[in-house]
Amino acid sequence: MVAPLKVGIAGLGTVGADVVSLIEEQARVLSARSGRGIKVVAVTARSKAKKRNVNLRGIAWAKSPLALATDPNINCFVELMGGAGDPALSAIEAALKSGKSVVTANKALIAKHGSKLAALAEKHGGALNFEAAVGAAIPVVKTLREGLAGTQINRVYGILNGTCNYILTRMEQEGLSFAECLKDAQRLGYAEANPSFDVDGHDTAQKLAILASIAFGTKVAQSSVYVEGISSIAPADLRAAQDLGYRVKLLGVAVRTKSGIEQRVHPTMVPRTSSIAQVMGVTNAVTIDGEGISPITLVGPGAGGAATASAVVADIADVARGIRAKPFGRPIAKLRTIKKAPMERHEGGYYIRLMARDLAGTAATIATRLAEQKISIESIVQRHPNGGVDTGAGGKPSPVPVILITYATTEDAVRRALQAVQSDKVITGRPQVVRIEKN
């Protein structure tokens, strides 16, 4: 008989409690699949007295995460506290140095310290598993690291934040403003009281940095990710997208280019016929483009206690099986320092919405500035809000929305052209720019 894997869990929030319950409920299945039993023998959390909807009878209580991580009675340390620093970081380091395997759902920590922790795991012989850190129940880490180990990855992109996808879905379907949808998302528990980490794109950026490292064999580099959030998206942009055959999504995109690895997070127009455009609400999705294969899209619940716990337990089961995969798919010495592709060199199509002054020569001025930067226009739409000339205060014509779709051009060219248009004072306000991602 093989001795059971003895697990210690630091953090008993929603996910931690669900992991304890799932291991107990699925004991027979896990034992059959892993070839040995899996048993939670110790836990720790900030408050021992807090009431939790989980059975902790017979499970020891460690006085701190560090004490649990160095407990000789556990084989596998599971970190579910969160945060990019201590106590999570020091506890994981201690567990790895003692030869234990580590399972974590901590995207912030992996995005910031993943390379260093992978080196410790490799040196001391333990596993470092973090499937739940990206996409929760969507097995994208294992797909990239193991399932596609023989395939050169050229691009990986996806919807990696359910809060943003929920907001954009509601805005599109109900014509609501960003502020209205955000307030509703907070009421339903999809968005935090301070939602900036989600809606400004930083959550997606952490997850993208992890996926890019696995996909391209580079050291994790969150600082190399260009980030924009969704707060500037207006209902007018979503209506225009629908008319033009697109849908707006907050995407994280990592792509191999001639100038380096391009990593970017921003609102994106995707063709309505694409797989990723069909993903609505709080659901997540990741598409992988590899050499010689058709794009693969993985769709599923990207957050929530049950979904995240499922991925954590799957990682624990891998430890029980004796699997010691390289955390980022390669030995740490083989991970390259990322060569960041400057965002100014990004090439693609663009959606541009301008509020043009209703004056003679405005259209010609805009066209001239675009032509100076060698930007070709695929389509142009100009609509008066009421089907004719709309007058504002004092009887003066109000600005008219002008929507442009460009052929492939560079980020730098678009920025230069729009800066010149603003200097010409033929538009009011800031231009709205959304990048277009083709299939």
Give CA–CA dist 377/404, Å, rounded.
7
Q: One-letter amino acid identity for 393?
A: A
- State how far the alpha carbon of 258 is from the alpha carbons of 151, 222, 289, 342, 411, in Å: 19, 20, 17, 11, 15
Alpha-carbon span 395 to 180, nearest angstrom: 32
**Spatial distance between the Cα atoms of 109 and 389, rounded to a whole number of angstroms:** 55
Task: Extract the tokens encoding 55.
Answer: 């059975």
d(CA 436, CA 271): 9
Q: How far is residue 436 CA from its own chain's centroid?
A: 18
Buried b (16+ CB within 10 A) or exposed e, 409-432: bbbebbebbbebbbeeebbeeebb
Q: Give bridge partners of residue 246 from the DSSP assignment.
A: 271
Question: CA quadruple 57, 61, 65, 70: dihedral positive or negative?
Answer: negative
CA atoms within 13 A on the CB side of 225: 31
How many of the other CB atoms lie within 10 Å of CB of 233?
A: 22
In eight-state DSSP terms, residue 230 is S
Pick the catalytic residue from 207, 219, 249, 258. Answer: 207
Active site residue 142: no
Residue type, 188: L
Residue type, 66: L
- DSSP letter at 334? G
Query: HSE-up of 322 (CA within 13 Å, CB side)?
Result: 4
CA distance 246 to 271: 4
Q: Which residues are catalytic?
A: 207
